[in-house]
Amino acid sequence: MEIQDRSDLCFPLLLNSSCRKPTLHWSEVVLLNSVLLFISLITVVLNLLIIISVSHFRQLHTPTNILLLSLGVSDFFVGLLLMPLEIYRFTFCWFLGDTMCVLLCYLIGTIIFASIWNIVLISVDRYVAICFPLHYPTRISLTRIKYCVCLCWFCASSCSFFYAKDELIQPGRSNSCIGECKFIMSYIPGIFDLIFNFTVPVMIIIILYLRVFVVAVSQARSMRSHITVVTFHSAASRTKRSELKAARTLGVLVVVYLMCYCPGYCYALIGIGLTNTSYSFYLFFLTYVNSCLNPVIYALFYPWFRKAVKVIVTLQILQPGSREANIL
């Protein structure tokens, strides 16, 4: 009987302190990991295409696209690092040690917080573009956007350090046994996280997009009622339609974000806490799936992304002067 008990342990030699192996059947593990790793691979590939497209083609170096690039970088690391490590943490014993567990905790905080506040920056960008179109070129410059992106990542890494400081001081303090990787946020950092990385961003996003929606509907009606205006105004009309289309696309982006992130935070809010249960794993992974859906939204709504992908896949990107290609 003792031998059987030892065979169920992550570290059979540590009978009294070792965790038990996950109870999933091997067929369930294979099926689950195959599906989730496929999602991870798709996330990496699609977001890598976003990163290459915006970085390479000079025509795409606009403030809005720089924000999409920053979001693509965070989504890329979600697929490359967070998804595989979370799959491993849920389906196998944790053999990577307490240091790697703390690093995973820090990466989760930094990347997820950066994604959230990138969405906020995108909402602000669309708000200014739709509600104050005449002031947009002066208020939202390329240099300012780059500074905002750098500040966003700096704040995300700083907040993550604040949340993980207890784990950094004493790695493995939240683990109940050896072979486990678990991190529990204490009360004050948890309240801070709930307020500044969920409640405040969601409120900002909803308020800005309600305002954008009202103005966009008003402008759309105005354009329909003046459809026969002289050609002098045609360029301005095309610009306005382009801004409205971008607002609609990024509106879909925000709705998908809320659908993916709200369940996990609501689950934590009601006091259950995000632990190593199957519920918490699937809710965590739902937030990660948002990183896979974002580039799908780009592909559906942005013609420039489809053109850029075609140039990349056919290796035309390697030709001299490809940076100047007409993508828009």
Residue 232 is predicted with a pLDDT of: 41
Torsion angles phi and psi, residue 175, rounded to 5 = -75, 135
Could you give the count of Cα atoms lying within 13 Å of 151 in the half-sphere of its Cβ? 8
Residue 111 is predicted with a pLDDT of: 93
- Based on DSSP, count helices (H) and strands (E) in the chain, helices before strands: 13, 0
Show me where the domains of the chain are located: 25-324
Chunk the chain into consecutive blocks of 10 residues (it has 328) and report each block's average pLDDT, rounded to whole numbers: 61 79 78 89 94 92 92 94 90 88 90 90 88 88 94 92 78 82 78 83 86 74 57 48 64 81 74 54 83 84 87 90 84
Residue 275 is predicted with a pLDDT of: 47
25-324 has which fold? Rhopdopsin 7-helix transmembrane proteins (1.20.1070)
pTM of the complete model = 0.85
The set of residues, in sequence order, having a beta carbon less than 8 Å from that of 288 and lying 6+ positions away, is 43, 78, 79, 82, 83, 86
Residue 153 is predicted with a pLDDT of: 95
Residue 172 is predicted with a pLDDT of: 77
